[in-house]
Structure 1
Amino acid sequence: MTSQTASAEKRVGKCLLDNWVEERAAAVLDTDGSRVQIQKHGHRGILTVDLASKIEGVSTERASYIPPRGPGVRERGIRGELLEKHITQKISEKVHAEFSPAPPKTDFRSTTQKDFIVEGFVPLDPEPTNVYDYKTDQAVTFWSENHQRVQGVSAVRTSDTPFKKTSMFSTPVTEQLDQLVLPPEN
């Protein structure tokens, strides 16, 4: 029975083709725990025998690294640096103004204020050229101006009232008194 469990544990963690050297080196340490637990948590005691020791935060590379130092003497003059900063600031302001212009000032006036109330405008009523009576005169409209071109309109007797009621449709031709000449009979 123990040979079956050992072979089953062997099959659980098959090593890679070129990893057999590491597997043989760690075989001595595989005595405690099952194969699955070792693969999950790793081998204890490979790096150090003292299991209570902690890993240091400093590596050999960090301990030996020295950051580079400058020459310790000023390489450029103060005036040159200030001139470069000034030119850089002017160029950056110009580019910023070019790519993000200020929004246009909003006009909060209404249409009436904008279009009809203008400073210096004095309204003048024009002097009438003819005497008109709005109560009795016929209104001038597009249809009253173009009544000759409108289809389906009866004969117009006077030009100032083209759309008044007419009884010519219902009055027999023989009784029409306005007509001086009777239409020819066929």
Structure 2
Amino acid sequence: MSEHHEQKAGKWMVSNWLEERAVAHIDTAETQNQTHKYGHRGLLSMELGAKMEDVTTVRATYVQHQGPGVRLKGRRLELLERQIAQSARQKMEHQMKPAPCEPEYRSVSEESFSVPGFVPLRERITPVHDYRSQDAITFWSENHQKIQGLTPVPSASAPFRKCSGFSRPIGERLDEVDPPLED
């Protein structure tokens, strides 16, 4: 290190000569770096191993408040105040949380369909249908005449059956006469 940094910490206080003299006996062997890092040892106390006091002036002088040592209210008045407070609390709880309603154990069908005076009617029995061989009756099968862009229907009972006229080659069409040749 240069000579400039090795000087004693007390010599740096040229303008504060009073403070320099006050700490001159403490700054005998310490450099400025050590003083800045650890401070002046023994400045507050000459005992370096002494423990710092943890009792403040407020803690030392504070006295906890004590009551007068006798009853200020009678026993009956205390019980009456406690009873009034308890009844007011119960009243408030009752107002804030009303009693639960009686549950209704009715199903949706009972509520919607079991109306007094309702008489169910039985439908007429229709002949038995075979779902494998008969086509289903739908809105479109009943109104196929009103559909625009539908090809001619070969059978009114089955309007949406596959028409093989679109997938067969012209030479294999048997139901039509040969179409005219275009020139």
TM-score with structure 1 setting the length:
0.48
